[in-house]
Amino acid sequence: MNRNSKRMNILSAALLIVKTDGVEKLTLEAVAKEAGISKGGLLYHFPNKHALIKAMVEESVNDFVADIHDRVTKTTDNGRWSRAYLEATVEDVREGNKLSTALIATLFSNPELLAKQQKEYFLWQKNIENDGIDQVRSTIVRLAADGLWFAEIFGMGNLDEELREKVIRYLKEMTSEEISS
């Protein structure tokens, strides 16, 4: 196993612990055990818990940002930023809430690490507002995507699969229809 895949294995183990057991159970010992390596092996990649959490957030945010940008570059249609944000958010939920799990770990252990995500959200919102569709409509799509995301994270008001898919389809339609303000 190369260094990069071992690092990714450690990050995946840390995300799994936070998701299944909670932030309070995230210890270097627990991560090493979950990753199937020695604590020394973990310390080679991450000298302390702060470095591990920072890497979790950076990796998750970078993946999410790359996903959005990849989706945006595949089309020149109006509404592409709103649609890309919605689709990337839905994909994160379907794939196990990697980004939200990392953000929760950060919120409870080192909130100042959220600064990068806050900057990205500011930029996304500006792109969404200038997406070629009504600003209010595009912002409603982003806020609705966030609402679906947070409902899934906290298990509050989850929708059954059929209704959830109808809502997502409707939100996508909102990103491609031009309406007057």
| Statement to judge: residues 43 and 93 lie in one domain | no
| Statement to judge: residues 41 and 80 lie in one domain | no
| Statement to judge: residues 70 and 155 lie in one domain | yes
| Segments forming the whole domain that contains residue 107 | 56-176
Answer left, alpha or beta for residue 96, where phi above 0 means left and psi between -120 and 50 means alpha. Answer: left
In a domain, residue 145? The reply is yes
Q: Say which amino acid occupies 19.
A: K
CA distance 106 to 151: 19
Q: How far is CA 123 from CA 24, 38, 119, 132, 171, in A?
A: 32, 40, 6, 16, 21
141-155 pLDDT tens trace: 999 999 988 888 777
Percent of the chain with pLDDT over 70: 95
How many structural domains are present in the chain?
A: 2
Q: How far is CA 8 from CA 33, 69, 102, 108, 112, in A?
A: 15, 22, 14, 22, 23
89-145 pLDDT tens trace: 888 888 777 777 777 777 776 777 777 778 888 988 999 999 899 999 999 999 999
In a domain, residue 71? The reply is yes
34-50 pLDDT tens trace: 999 999 988 999 999 88
| Statement to judge: residues 39 and 89 lie in one domain | no
In a domain, residue 99? The reply is yes
| Statement to judge: residues 106 and 61 lie in one domain | yes
CA distance 43 to 55: 13
